[in-house]
Amino acid sequence: MLTRNNFLALTVLALVALSQGSVLPQNRGAAAAESGKGGRIVGGQEASIERLPYQVSVRLDTNTLLHICGGAIYAPRVIVTAAHCIKGRFASTIRIVAGKSSILDDDEGYRVSKLIHHSGYNKKTHANDVGLIILAENLAYSASVQPIPLALAKPNKGETAVVSGWGKSDENAASLTNQLHMAELSIVDSEYCNNQYASKSYAITEEMICAGVEDASKDSCQGDSGGPLVVNGKLVGVVSWGIGCAREGFPGVYASVTYHTPWIEENAKLYV
């Protein structure tokens, strides 16, 4: 399985030639060459940024700004994202674009001063897939740019969750979507999710949560990595990984924000 940010390298090599879905677990970000996965929301609908003002686009600053991941605004200078989106990168090459519904804008974005990934992040097991992007200057809050609070408690099985991003519409799509999408999912029982992934020799640990729908018609996908999973207006998860996208029996897997709240607060305290 790949994390949901694994199409970036292919994006850099060929803007529309992202890697295809894999039978292996994949990150759900834009560095496809690393794990073969990246993404847009599967089975979702277009949404304006005013509806999801906490959502940001994490971009790689090359000759142009390329969307590689999503993120969520925690504080004026702090973005919560996935560790696999930023590990091994330099702050000087990352920009944050906030308040935009499309990734085709010509926004130069906000400069980044520091990248902080969880020291316990494990690429093979996807453990501790959480990170922070520290901006060089404060975001300008508006109707389309707003922070989201961290959830105080882990969501219950069956609760409605909203995932959003610019990821692929299905795991075999050639490119990301240009317009922000969102989808309503349900929190999946952790024991069931673990049993499903155990059949592929992967473990769902206490610092992960799963979300999907019974008919597997909706999911996060490549390019959505690092983006927000929200329940009742609070951040409960960070798009992390999964086996393919919207595959029956394999819900998307998210880093649990509640589990990682102490880490987030400790590492963000100097910047809030």
DSSP per residue over 147-207, as a string? --PBPSSPPPTT-EEEEEES-BSSTT-SS--SB-EEEEEEEEPHHHHHHHHHTTT----TT
| Catalytically annotated residue among 35, 67, 84, 219 | 84
- Best CA proximity match to 171, nearest among 245, 239, 223: 245
Residue 28 in tokens: 């759900």
Residue 154 in tokens: 């882990």
Active site residue 35: no
Q: Hey, is 21 helix, strand or coil?
A: coil
Please give the helix or strand (H or E) that residue 90 lies within, else none.
none
Measured between alpha carbons, how far is 239 from 156 in angstroms, rounded to an integer?
18
| Catalytically annotated residue among 35, 101, 129, 169 | 129
Q: Which residues pair with 5 in a beta bridge?
A: 28, 29
Measured between alpha carbons, how far is 258 from 80 in angstroms, rounded to an integer?
13
First vs last C-alpha separation in the chain: 35
Are 206 and 183 in contact by the 8 Å Cβ rule? The answer is: no
Active site residue 113: no
| Catalytically annotated residue among 19, 35, 101, 225 | 225
Active site residue 225: yes
Please give the helix or strand (H or E) that residue 265 lies within, else none.
helix 257-268
Measured between alpha carbons, how far is 151 from 132 in angstroms, rounded to an integer?
17
Are 228 and 236 in contact by the 8 Å Cβ rule? The answer is: no
Q: Please list the active-site residues.
A: 84, 129, 225
